[in-house]
Amino acid sequence: MDTANVNVKLSEFAKVFFDGKPYDVPAELTIMTAMEYAGYRLVRGCGCRHGFCGACATIYRIEGKSPVHFALACQQKVEDGMYVATLPFFPLDRRTYDMEEITPDNQTMMQIFPEIFGCVACNSCTKSCSKGLNTMQYIAYAKRNDLKKCAETSFDCVSCGICSARCPANISHSLVGLLARRLSAKYLTPKSAHTHMRTKDIADGKFDDEINKIMRMPMDDIKKLYDTREIEK
Amino acid sequence: MYSSQMLDFIKTVEATREDRFKNEPRRLDANEKQALLKEFHPDHRDSGFGTIEVGNNKGEKAPVELVELLHANSRIKGIKFDFDSPKYDVDVLIIGGGGAGASAAIEAKKAGANVMIATKLRMGDANSTMAEGGIQAADNENDSPQQHYLDSMGGGHYANKPELLKRLVMDGPDAIHWLENLGVMFDKKTDGSMVTFPGGGLSRNRLHACADYTGLEITRVLINEVRNLDVPIVDFTAALELIMDDKGKVAGAVLMNMLTGEYVIAKAKTVIVATGGAGRLHYHGFPTTNHYGATADGLILAYRVGASLLYQDTIQYHPTGVAYPTQLFGALVTEKVRSIGAQLVNIEGEAFVHPLETRDVVSSAIIRECGQRKKGITTPDGAGVWLDTPLIVKKSGASMIEKSIPGILKMFLNYGIDIRKLPILMYPTFHYQNGGIDIEKGGHTKEVQNLFMAGEVVGGIHGRNRLLGNSMLDVVVFGRHAGKAAAEAAKTTTIGKLTLNHVDEYTRKLKDAGIDNDKTSPLLLPNYVRKLHKA
C-alpha cells in the first residue's frame, strides 16, 4: 500500500488508438492514465483528474461500430478497439453581465443568450453530455425562463464543452446553466436571515469579548474546554 | 463491480449493521488519540522525511519530495532577462487560478486596482473545484465564532496561529453571506435558512453545502464573477520565479507559457501567491485527491525570496480515499458521507473507530486496521476498509444519499456499485498540506514586503490538522483579504530596479551547503509518462 505506482499483476491489455495510432495499454486504466502510460505528457486536456473540472472532454468510437461516445478521459475506462480523440479546448461564446443590474425576469436570458431560441431540439447536447445530464431540457427551461428548474437540471455540469461542440444552434450551454443558477440562487431563493444577522452582529463587535477571551486563555484551559465540550447530536 | 470474494465479505458487514445502527462506537479520549497518531499517522514515520539545508527553515524536517524541490536549481538559472519592457505591468499580480486567486481578484478589482491572474493550467484547475463536503461558518444561533475557534484549535492540536484563526472564524459568516449574494446555490430550507451538517471534530452542525459539489459550485461562481469584472486571465502560464526590486520588495514574476515554453515578464506592485497544495508530490507514496498541478510551486517561489515555511512536515491524509475500483484509486469520498451516518467497518464487521473523529485520527485508525491488525480487505492496489453507506439508507432513507451526495452515488454507479445497497472500500489518500508559507494576520509574509499569500499555500491557519470545511472557508476569507490588502499596498508602492539577485543568492547558498544536483524547481507538473499511474 502507500504507493502510487504499485506493481499489480497485469492480466489484460487493450488495444486503443490515440489520434489514430494504436497502443497496447493495461485494460484497467482510464483513457487519461492510458495516454500517460503510452507516453503522452499531458498539459492540456488534464485538470482535476477526478471528474469535477471538465478539462478532459473526450470523443471515442469503438472500431467497427457506428456510435460516437463522449466522456471525461479521467473517468472512462479504456476498451479494446477504442479510437480516441480529445477536445482539450472549445471556444465558448462568453458574455459578461453585472449580477447587481440584471434581474430574473423574462428579458434577461433572452438578452444575454438569445441563441437559445435557435435550439432545433435535435437533442445532440443531451446525447453527448459527459455527465449524463438532460441538457436540452435545461435549455428548454431557460427559454421559458424557468430559472429554478434550469438551475437544478444543470447543477452537475462541469463545463466540458462537448454539448457546445455538437450544437447546430451554437449555444454555449454551460454558460446558460451558470447564469440560471446564479440568478436563481441570488433572486429566487429567500436569503438566509440567520447568516445575515450573525454577520451584522460580528461587525457590530458583539463577539469581540468572547473571541478575545478564548484567544487569551492559557493553553491548558483551552484543552480542558475542548476535551469537555458538548457535541451537538 | 465487486469480485465474488468481496461480495462474500460484504455479507459480514450486513450481518452486523443492525447492531452497529443501535450502538455507535465511542469517541476516543485525548490520550488515546495521541497514542494512535504517534504510532500510525504518516507524519510520525521516521522514513520519508529529510532535512532542509538552506534558507529560513534550515535544519527542519520536511517530506523528502519537498526537500528535493527546495534543494533544486532555479529553472531560470543563468538566463538573462530584459526588464525594461515587461509584457504585463499591473498593480496586483495573482498567481493561481483557484478559489483563493479568484476571491482575491474580485476584491482587488473592486478596490480599484489594475489586477491580473496568471495560472499554470486553466482557471479553476484547482483543489477548490474538487472540494465536495462543504464550507464551515458559525452562523447558527446555537453556534458562535469562539466555538468554531475552539473546534479548530483542538482539531489543529493547538498549533493554529491565533490571529489567523480569529480571522477565519470571525469572517466566516460574512464569507457565506458574500457567496450567497454572488449567487451560490447553497442547500437551504424553504425559508432560506442554511441546511448545516455535522462533521469530524465539529461540536456544532456548522457545515454548509451545495450537495457534494460545494467547491465546484463556489469556484465556478467566483470565476464567472472574475470574468464579469474583466480581470485579465493569462492561463497555461506558470510562475518560475518571483522578481524583486533593489529595495527588497517583491515586484513581479518570471512566467512561462506552458505550451510554448516562452518566458514572459510580469511587473507588479504587489503579488499574491495562491498556488495551492502539494498532493501531486505523493508524499510517502500515497495517491492523492488533488488536481494535476498541485506540486507545491508557491512554497518554492516564496522560499527562494526569503519567506519561511511553517508546519511543512504535517500533511492531511483524507481517511476515505477510494481503494477500489482501481480507476478511482485515491479519489475523494467526502467526509459528508460520514456526517450523514456511514460508519467505517473492518473485515469482521466491526465499526473500529467513531466516524466523526478528526481526519488524522480516522486515517490513523484505518492504517492500523489494514496494517498491524490485519483486518483490512485486500484490493488489487493494496487494502481498504468498508464505508458502510447502506447504513445511511437505514437511518434516513435512500433520498438522503440522492440529495446530499449525488456525486459520490454517480461516481460509483459508473462502475456498477450502488452505494445505497453496497458499502465501498476506502483507504487514506493525500488530501491537503496543513502547513505552508508563514504569514502575518495582514496576509503578507513577515520577511518580504508586498508578498501576499492565500489559500492552501499558507500554513498556520489550521495548525497541524485541518477540519473539514475550513479550507473552502480559508480560501474565500484569506483570498478576499489578500485581494483588499494587496490593492491597498499597491497604492503606496513605487517599484525600484527589478532584479533576480535573490535567485543567484539562493544558488550560492545551495553551493555553500554542498548541494549539487541537476534537478530544477518549481516542479509545475508531475511526471506520469510511461508509468502505471492510477488516477
**ipTM of the prediction:** 0.96
Whole-number pLDDT of residue A11: 60
Preferred mutation among B132, B161, B327 to probe A, highest tally of A CBs within 10 A: B327
Whole-number pLDDT of residue B534: 81
Within 13 Å of residue B76, how many CA atoms lie on the same side as its CB? 26
> How many Å apart are CA A150 and CA A146, to the nearest integer?
6
**Consecutive 10-residue averages of pLDDT for chain B (535 residues):** 95 98 95 98 96 98 98 96 97 98 98 98 97 96 98 98 98 98 98 97 97 97 98 98 98 98 98 98 97 98 98 98 96 96 98 97 98 97 97 96 95 96 98 98 97 98 98 98 98 98 97 96 97 85
CATH 3.10.20.30 fits A2-86, yes or no: yes
- Nearest by CB to A51, from B147, B211, B411: name it: B411
CATH 3.40.109.10 fits B4-40+317-429, yes or no: no
Contact B292 A47 (CB under 8 A): yes
Which residues in chain A touch residue B289, judged by CB atoms under 8 angstroms apart?
50
Q: Return the exposure string of B352-363: e unless at least 16 CB atoms fall within 10 Å of the residue's CB, then b.
A: bbbbbbbbbbbb
Catalytic-labelled residue, pool B75, B338, B462, B502:
B338
Closest residue in chain B to residue A189, using alpha carbons only:
B192
Domains of chain B: which residue ranges? 4-40+317-429, 88-314+434-502
pLDDT grade, residue A38 (50/70/90)?
very high
> How many Å apart are CA B349 and CA B362, to the nearest integer?
17
Model pTM above 0.90: yes
Cell digits of residue A12: 489484460
A68-74: average pLDDT: 97
Question: Which amino acid would we find at residue A117?
Answer: F
Nearest-Cα distance to chain B for A123, in Å, is 22
> How many Å apart are CA A136 and CA A129, to the nearest integer?
10
A120-148: average pLDDT: 98
> How many Å apart are CA A181 and CA A131, to the nearest integer?
17
Domains of chain A: which residue ranges? 2-86, 106-188, 193-227
Whole-number pLDDT of residue B535: 79
Q: Does A3 have pLDDT greater than 50?
A: no
Contact A155 B198 (CB under 8 A): no
Q: For residue B318, indicate whether it is catalytic.
A: yes
> How many Å apart are CA B525 and CA B276, to the nearest integer?
13
Q: For residue B338, indicate whether it is catalytic.
A: yes
Q: Return the exposure string of B211-230: e unless at least 16 CB atoms fall within 10 Å of the residue's CB, then b.
A: bbbbbbbbbbbbbbbbbbee
CB pairs under 8 A between A and B: 255
- Nearest by CB to B529, from A8, A39, A214: name it: A39
Nearest-Cα distance to chain B for A162, in Å, is 17
Cell digits of residue B352: 473500529
The reply to whether B137 touches chain A by the CB within 8 Å rule is yes
Closest CA to A145 of A191, A203, A102: A102
Catalytic-labelled residue, pool B318, B466, B480, B481:
B318
Q: Exposed/middle/buried for B416, CB within 10 Å: 0-12, 13-18, 19+? A: exposed
Closest CA to B70 of B525, B526, B517: B517
CATH class entry, domain B88-314+434-502: alpha beta
In this structure, are residues B440 and B446 in contact, taking their beta carbons and an 8 Å threshold?
yes
Which residues in chain B touch residue A228, judged by CB atoms under 8 angstroms apart?
none
Q: What is the pLDDT of residues A188-216, one digit of tens each?
A: 999 999 999 999 999 999 999 999 999 99
pLDDT grade, residue A233 (50/70/90)?
confident
Cell digits of residue B260: 510554448
